Amino acid sequence: MTAGGPAGPPPAWFSHELCFWHDPGAGSGHLPVGPGVEPLRQFAVDPDLRRAEGLVRLSGVLDRFTRHTPAPAPDADLLLVHTRAHVDRVEATSARGGDAGVYAPAGHHSAAAARLAVGACTAAVREVLAGGHRRAYCLVRPPGHHAEPDRAMGLCLFNNLAVATRVAQRNGARRVLVVDLDVHHGNGLQRVFWEDPDVCYVSLHQDGLFPPASGTAAETGSGAGAGTTVNVPLPAGTGHGGYLAAMESVVVPAARAFAPDLVLVAAGLDAGAHDPMGRMMATSRTFHSVVTSLCELADELCAGRIVLAHEGGYSAWYQPTLLLAVAAAVAGLPAPDDPFLHSLENLPGQRVAAHQRRVLDHLRTHHPLLSAAAVAS
């Protein structure tokens, strides 16, 4: 990869104005206004994404992409993953306002935005598999990786990348690698693909954050899918060095062992050092390095076919810089300037620590996919 960008057609950029209209309502954190909870601007306010896209545009990086406006996902696509009752519940809750599941608030525009989020991801997958683009990025809300087949959870209404994976499988991608960078564990993605031998789900998340007791290293899939779930529960405080070590020790060898036809990335930004929803220390340099590595893996393993979709990210001031770093990596550009970087990159936590390496060493020697790859090499 060079500073001139990836070979072939320019990468695709999918976004829709209505995704920025999804409103999780007033509250504090995930909690709605109620006893002891004063009305407060939610962390997950999606106009912040409009600001983030504005920085990518202002920087000129968005000019490196071909822009697409997605259409809403039809029921036929949603029902590849979700139950009819779940789809109906999201629609009804959005119409009246309220919680569509577990910490999953929905308002007037939420169901339409959620269908557009899925539609962006499925359209991106179809474009990439058809050869129209090699890489694609979807700037969408609401997020998706917590949503399970029969319930919404953690701000996620429909599972954007789970549906996109099923669509990919119906469009010629026999084996799909899903890498989840969100600071929270993608319980919904894990549940959907728990017994699927043709989908490898790899999650780098903060250990024990959300959902509770979800995403332990011992969770590796079952039945025909045994060994195709790889959880990397990183200790709180993991920074740049820890994330790069996780890529080198776990993600890259797992991807090579699995040999996918397509790479999908749940590109959450809430592992960023300023994010109020996590306790990690990743910087824009971290995200640029990780996404660059994933794009290079796609180049090596599956003719460059990779689709990234936005998940979490709740720092109003740092999220735009992190998104710019991701977009630059997808476009094959150098890491952008980051006015916050100097205050973050010299902290001791940016270097990989012994207790973080122990997690990676355990996975490398005990996980079925990684230990088998080590023996084969």
Q: Are 230 and 370 in contact (CB under 8 A)?
A: yes
Cα–Cα distances in angstroms (integers) from residue 226 to residues 218, 229, 367, in the given order: 11, 7, 10
Sign of the dihedral through C-alpha 160, 165, 167, 171: positive
- 92 HSE (CA, 13 A, CB side): 7
Tell me which of 30, 68, 146, 185 is the catalytic residue: 146
Cα distance between residue 119 and residue 12, in whole Å: 14
Determine phi and psi for 240, rounding to 5 degrees. -55, -50
Cα distance between residue 106 and residue 243, in whole Å: 33
Cα distance between residue 320 and residue 225, in whole Å: 37
Cα distance between residue 120 and residue 136, in whole Å: 10
Q: How many CB atoms lie within 10 A of CB 109?
A: 17
Q: Are 293 and 252 in contact (CB under 8 A)?
A: yes
Task: For residue 146, indicate whether it is catalytic.
Answer: yes
Cα distance between residue 114 and residue 152, in whole Å: 11
Residue 285 CB partners (closer than 8 Å, separation 6+): 240, 325, 335, 338, 341, 345
Q: Are 144 and 160 in contact (CB under 8 A)?
A: yes
Is there a cis peptide before residue 142, judged by omega within 30 degrees of 0?
A: yes
Reduced 3-state DSSP string for 139-202: ECCCCCCCCECCEEECCECCCHHHHHHHHHHCCCCCCEEEEECCCCCCHHHHHHHCCCCCEEEE
Q: Are 203 and 186 in contact (CB under 8 A)?
A: yes
Which residues are designated catalytic? 146
